[in-house]
């Protein structure tokens, strides 16, 4: 197990309870999806794992998070990044005044690999997302929404994460572009062996590439199952809160 | 007369540009408008004076020591004060920078008194004349030094890893953290660099004029430069430096007689007023920076 989230509870500002009790486990090399309605606590979950809660005055108040067998919930965000947990946060966090290529280079700064290995990786990103190559010298602010999403994903892959946390990569994208982004995410998982925890509203996009999925409602895991099982049930029950946590 | 005033303006302007660059760096990294920049220019010049005249060693040893001390001062200011001021109102932050300014001026008076010192010659002799007009060598050296440093910074930010990290932090702190970059370290570094350029600027000004407490008044002159260029624009700081430098110098020559001294400072602020009326974000600025 590469990631094991055990019974966590998360508060913002010490008063807003965002996650009541969540358990998630991921095997090495898997893609696992977190599904659920707005405000269910999906993003909060990724922030808790990555340590980025600290910049939003959030705190894990109960439970433990283990990454590669080591407890990480006490570590700072940057330490976790260095140990291989990398987050593509919601809202396309570009370095908007930097060019596309500079954004990708910033991603590689934490690596100790030689310049030539990094150069190869840069070219690899351009094969995953060819449009970025055309835009390489352009200031990233001028990219379209879909291109921006591709850039933040590619930039995070440049960090060579062991665990990639993706927060709603398809949000706001045209259906075709969203499908293309999802299929590149699948390809990254297959070719580089990157373990991925994917947050999505769009179950139809996420389920086909997932090994396992969780449905989160009101800060709890309502259902954990295989994608095949999930397809048989009416997810709307969970999204609309007609069904609550099973236990 | 015109040529000489123009050249003096360009030289002084290049020094302004350098000092303004320091303010822009800090603003970009941490949104702090540093009103103590002028005092840092002054204290930097005094520190260099003390090191160069106090340590019996050649300049290639003493100057780097002075530069190192300036960088250290910047780091200390950031670590002890501004590290704890994130999320504080802009107006409070400005008050703190003014406080630092008074502190530095007070300490300088306490240590060195209010005398004028003439700076030891640290720039090599060089004679230069253009079309029969003699041009003071300190102007030429100031210009050359400032340009070299400005170009070095441009390359540093474009191509070095640390420069890239600094730009990342200036752009988006949250994204930087998720990319494994410590914003605090980069902000410290901005202060260090800012103090170093302030010191270099101070030494050049002390060479052009004299070394005394009046050097901190440069802060008042550089402020219009930064506003003119746009608080968050490096190119703006450089061009703003030249514009204010040249206009100040020309007006001192042509209007100085009419109004007595200090007309160059008046001109700077008249320009500042006009700019703020027409373009509130400065010529190259992007953000809404001032709402005081
Ligand atoms: N920075 C914050 N400060 C305070 N409360 C927050 C913060 N971020 C999220 N919350 C609260 O925590 C709860 C869970 O939010 P979260 O963003 O994790 O939901 P989500 O499942 O990602 O929703 P969405 O699908 O809309 O992105 C919400 O009630 C939200 O209001
Ligand atoms: Mg969310």
Nearest CA in chain B to A81: B180
CA-nearest residue for atom 6, ligand 1, is A12
Among the partner-chain residues B171, B175, B180, the one whose CB lies closest to the CB of A110 is B180
In a domain, A122, yes or no: yes
Which tokens go with A141? 């602010």
Q: Give the whole-angstrom CA distance, residue A223 versus residue A233.
A: 11
Angle formed at CA B249 by CA B248 and CA B252, multiple of 5 degrees: 85
Which tokens go with B2? 């015109």
Residue B182 has what pLDDT?
95
- Minimal CA–CA distance to A193: which of A4, A31, A3? A31
- The residues facing A8 across adjacent strands are A22
Angle formed at CA B189 by CA B184 and CA B192, multiple of 5 degrees: 130
In a domain, A232, yes or no: no
Q: Give the whole-angstrom CA distance, residue A48 versus residue B35.
A: 39
- Chunked in runs of 10, what are the mean pLDDT values of chain B (292 residues)? 85 91 91 93 96 92 96 97 87 93 95 89 72 76 88 92 95 95 96 96 88 88 83 86 88 72 74 79 64 40
Higher pLDDT, A229 or B165: B165
Residue A117 sits in which domain range?
88-160
Report CA torsion sign: B147, B149, B151, B153. negative
Nearest CA in chain B to A155: B179
In a domain, A233, yes or no: no
Rounded to a whole number, what is the distance in Å from the CA of A240 to chain B's nearest CA? 32
Q: Give the whole-angstrom CA distance, residue B174 versus residue B1.
A: 53
Q: Give the whole-angstrom CA distance, residue A1 versus residue B8.
A: 70
User: Is A182 strand, coil or helix?
Assistant: helix
Q: Give the whole-angstrom CA distance, residue A13 versus residue A10.
A: 10
Q: Is pLDDT above 50 for A246?
A: no
Interface of A with B (CB under 8 A): 50, 52, 55, 77-78, 81-82, 86-87, 89, 93-98, 102, 105-107, 109-110, 155, 159
Tell me the pLDDT tens digit for each residue of A1-24: 999 999 999 999 999 999 999 999
Q: Which residue has the tokens 């109102």?
A: B89
pTM to 2 decimal places: 0.89
Residue B140 has what pLDDT?
86
Radius of gyration of chain A (CA): 18
In a domain, A94, yes or no: yes
Q: What is the ipTM of this complex?
A: 0.92
Residue A42 has what pLDDT?
96
Residue B121 has what pLDDT?
77
Which run of H or of E encompasses A220? strand A220-225
Q: Give the whole-angstrom CA distance, residue A238 versus residue A236.
A: 5
In a domain, A19, yes or no: no
Q: Is pLDDT above 50 for A247?
A: no
Q: Tell me the CA–centroid distance for residue B265 and ligand 1, in Å.
A: 52
What are the backbone dihedrals phi and psi of residue A39, each rounded to the nearest 5 degrees, phi first? Answer: 75, 10
Q: DSSP letter at A142? A: G
Residue B72 has what pLDDT?
98
Q: Is A169 in the pocket of ligand 1 (CB under 6 A)?
A: no
Set of chain A residues whose Cβ sits within 8 Å of the Cβ of B173: 55
Cβ within 8 Å of residue A91, ≥6 positions away: none
Cβ of A106 within 8 Å of Cβ of B182? The answer is: no
Higher pLDDT, B134 or A195: A195
Among the partner-chain residues A77, A86, A106, the one whose CB lies closest to the CB of B164 is A106
Strands A3-12 and A58-67 turn out to be antiparallel
Cβ within 8 Å of residue A30, ≥6 positions away: A195, A196, A211, A212
Q: Is pLDDT above 50 for A53?
A: yes
Candidates A97, A111, A149: best to mutate against B (most CBs of B within 10 A) is: A97
In a domain, A150, yes or no: yes
| Domain count along chain A | 1
What's the whole-number mean pLDDT along residues A40-68? 96
A5, A12, A33, A38: residue to mutate for ligand 1 pocket, most atoms within 8 A of CB = A12
In a domain, A46, yes or no: no
């Amino acid at each position: 197990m590469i990631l094991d989230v055990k019974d966590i509870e998360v508060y913002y500002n010490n008063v807003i309870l965002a996650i009541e009790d969540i358990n998630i486990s991921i095997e090495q090399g898997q893609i696992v999806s977190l599904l659920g309605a707005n405000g269910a606590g999906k993003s909060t979950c990724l922030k808790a794992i990555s340590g980025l809660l600290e910049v939003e005055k959030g705190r894990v108040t109960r439970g433990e998070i283990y990454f590669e067998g080591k407890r990480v919930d006490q570590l700072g965000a940057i330490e976790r990044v260095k140990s291989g947990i990398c987050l593509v946060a919601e809202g396309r966090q570009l370095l908007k005044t930097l060019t596309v290529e500079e954004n990708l280079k910033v991603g590689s700064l934490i690596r100790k690999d030689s310049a030539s290995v990094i150069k190869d990786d840069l070219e690899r990103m351009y094969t995953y997302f060819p449009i970025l190559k055309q835009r390489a010298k352009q200031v990233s602010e001028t990219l379209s929404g879909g291109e921006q999403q591709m850039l933040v994903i590619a930039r995070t892959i440049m960090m060579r994460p062991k665990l990639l946390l993706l927060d709603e990569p398809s949000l706001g994208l045209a259906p075709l572009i969203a499908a293309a982004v999802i299929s590149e995410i699948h390809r990254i998982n297959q070719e580089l062996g990157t373990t991925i925890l994917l947050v999505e509203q769009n179950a139809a996009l996420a389920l086909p590439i997932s090994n396992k999925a969780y449905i989160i409602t009101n800060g709890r895991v309502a259902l954990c199952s295989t994608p095949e099982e999930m397809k048989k049930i009416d997810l709307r029950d969970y999204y609309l809160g007609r069904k609550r946590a099973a236990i | 007369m015109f040529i000489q005033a123009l050249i003096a303006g360009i030289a002084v302007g290049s020094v302004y540009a350098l000092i303004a660059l320091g303010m822009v760096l800090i603003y970009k990294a941490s949104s702090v408008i540093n009103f103590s920049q002028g005092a840092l220019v002054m204290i930097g010049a005094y520190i260099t004076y003390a090191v160069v005249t106090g340590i019996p060693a050649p300049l290639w040893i003493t100057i780097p020591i002075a530069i190192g001390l300036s960088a250290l001062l910047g780091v200390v200011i950031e670590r002890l004060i501004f590290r704890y001021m994130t999320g504080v109102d802009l107006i409070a932050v400005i008050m703190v920078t003014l406080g630092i300014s008074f502190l530095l001026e007070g300490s300088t008076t306490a240590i060195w008194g209010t005398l004028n010192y003439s700076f030891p010659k640290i720039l090599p002799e060089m004679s230069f004349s253009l079309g029969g007009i003699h041009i003071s060598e300190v102007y030429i050296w100031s210009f050359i030094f400032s340009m070299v440093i400005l170009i070095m910074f441009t390359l540093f930010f474009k191509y070095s890893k640390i420069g890239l990290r600094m730009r990342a932090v200036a752009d988006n702190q949250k994204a930087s953290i998720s990319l494994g970059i410590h914003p605090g370290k980069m902000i410290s570094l901005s202060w260090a660099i800012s103090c170093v350029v302030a010191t270099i600027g101070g030494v050049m000004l002390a060479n052009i004029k004299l070394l005394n407490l009046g050097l901190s008044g440069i802060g008042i002159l550089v402020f219009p430069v930064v506003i003119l260029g746009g608080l968050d624009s490096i190119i703006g700081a450089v061009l703003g430096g030249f514009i204010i430098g040249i206009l100040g110098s020309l007006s001192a020559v042509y209007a100085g007689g009419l109004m007595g001294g200090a007309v160059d400072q008046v001109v700077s602020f008249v320009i500042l007023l006009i700019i703020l009326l027409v373009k509130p974000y400065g010529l190259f600025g992007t953000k809404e920076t001032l709402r005081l």
